[in-house]
């Protein structure tokens, strides 16, 4: 399940170090309000014996904010997305948002204007095109790499197969980069993260494609990276 939370910021920008840094804390706070044991398990250990956390979210995306150099623009018309292929995690996230007047994104309060479930597209053909709204993080030999790297697709598919294993789904997967954005660097709790938005053609079982749509692509999806449009 995935859902969109429409929000309004009372300020016209978010500090760049806070674009992604608050994401994980926001997600765990929502889960903790409904299921403290689940939040502790995900935070301390991961899920089902794996260090992966099967949840994703986006950083806040604003419409009509305008572009200014060195500033992440905000406005009264924005959205934050959440999702998970694990029903218990998804239900806790959704219940955690229900009834909230605002979500605190770092130092910026975001007033909740509404919540809307998003249906999963039909992936019955076993092939789809995913486009991300936030950068996808992929690593090779402990370094973040970008879509032009010769090992990018291999390492991304390794990550997708790992997600499939954690969920008990078929792990056969192929991917092809169709286009990508410029490499970007963000600081998350003062640690650098390098990635690019990407458009991919992915071939896999319909159940895995459904799960990826609800979870996201690449590493650190619980920090807001790799969220699929």
Nearest to 39 by CA among 51, 27, 50: 27
Structure tokens at 106: 């770092």
Residue spans of alpha helices (H) in 71-150: 87-97
CATH code that applies to domain 2-118: 3.30.70.1890
Reported pTM: 0.95
Nearest to 24 by CA among 119, 93, 111, 71: 93
Which residues are 115's β-sheet partners?
Answer: 5
pLDDT score recorded for residue 99: 81
pLDDT score recorded for residue 187: 86
Q: Are strands 184-188 and 191-195 parallel, antiparallel or unpaired?
A: antiparallel
Average pLDDT, the chain: 95
pLDDT score recorded for residue 133: 97
pLDDT score recorded for residue 158: 97
All structural domains of the chain with their residue ranges: 2-118, 127-223
pLDDT score recorded for residue 201: 98
Residue spans of alpha helices (H) in 8-167: 23-32, 36-44, 87-97, 152-167
Residues 191-209: tens digit of each pLDDT: 999 999 999 999 999 999 9
pLDDT score recorded for residue 190: 84
Residues 120-174: tens digit of each pLDDT: 999 999 999 999 999 999 999 999 999 999 999 999 999 999 999 999 999 999 9
Residue matched to tokens 């370094």: 143
pLDDT score recorded for residue 71: 79
Asked whether the domain spanning 127-223 has the same topology as the one spanning 2-118, the reply is yes
Q: Are strands 72-73 and 61-62 parallel, antiparallel or unpaired?
A: unpaired
Residues 45-78: tens digit of each pLDDT: 999 899 999 999 999 999 988 777 777 999 999 9
First and final C-alpha spacing in the chain: 14
Q: What percent of the chain has pLDDT over 90?
A: 91
20 confidence band (pLDDT: 50, 70, 90): very high
pLDDT score recorded for residue 59: 96
From the candidate CATH numbers 3.30.110.30, 3.30.70.1900, 3.40.50.80, 3.90.180.10, the one assigned to the domain spanning 127-223? 3.30.70.1900
pLDDT score recorded for residue 68: 72
pLDDT score recorded for residue 21: 95
181 confidence band (pLDDT: 50, 70, 90): very high
Q: What is the DSSP letter of 205?
A: -
**Cα separation, 199 vs 132, whole angstroms:** 7
């Amino acid at each position: 399940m995935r859902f969109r939370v429409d929000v309004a910021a009372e300020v016209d920008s978010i500090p760049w170090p806070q674009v992604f840094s608050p994401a994980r804390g926001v997600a765990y706070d929502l889960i903790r309000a409904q299921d403290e044991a689940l939040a502790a398990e995900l935070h301390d250990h991961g899920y089902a014996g794996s260090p992966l956390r099967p949840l994703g979210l986006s950083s806040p995306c604003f419409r009509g904010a305008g572009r200014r150099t060195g500033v992440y623009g905000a406005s009264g018309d924005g959205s934050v997305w959440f999702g998970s292929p694990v029903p218990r995690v998804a239900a806790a996230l959704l219940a955690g948002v229900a009834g909230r007047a605002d979500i605190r994104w770092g130092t910026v309060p975001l007033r909740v204007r509404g919540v809307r479930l998003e249906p999963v597209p039909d992936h019955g053909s076993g092939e789809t095109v995913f486009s991300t709204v936030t950068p996808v993080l992929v690593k090779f030999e402990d370094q973040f790499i970008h879509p032009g790297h010769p090992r990018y697709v291999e390492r991304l598919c390794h990550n997708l197969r790992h997600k499939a294993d954690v969920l008990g789904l078929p792990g056969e997967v192929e991917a092809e980069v169709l286009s990508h954005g410029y490499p970007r660097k963000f600081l998350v709790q003062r640690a650098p993260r390098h990635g690019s938005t990407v458009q991919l053609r992915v071939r896999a079982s319909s159940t895995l494609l459904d799960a990826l749509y609800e979870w996201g692509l690449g590493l650190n999806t619980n920090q807001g990276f790799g969220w699929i449009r």
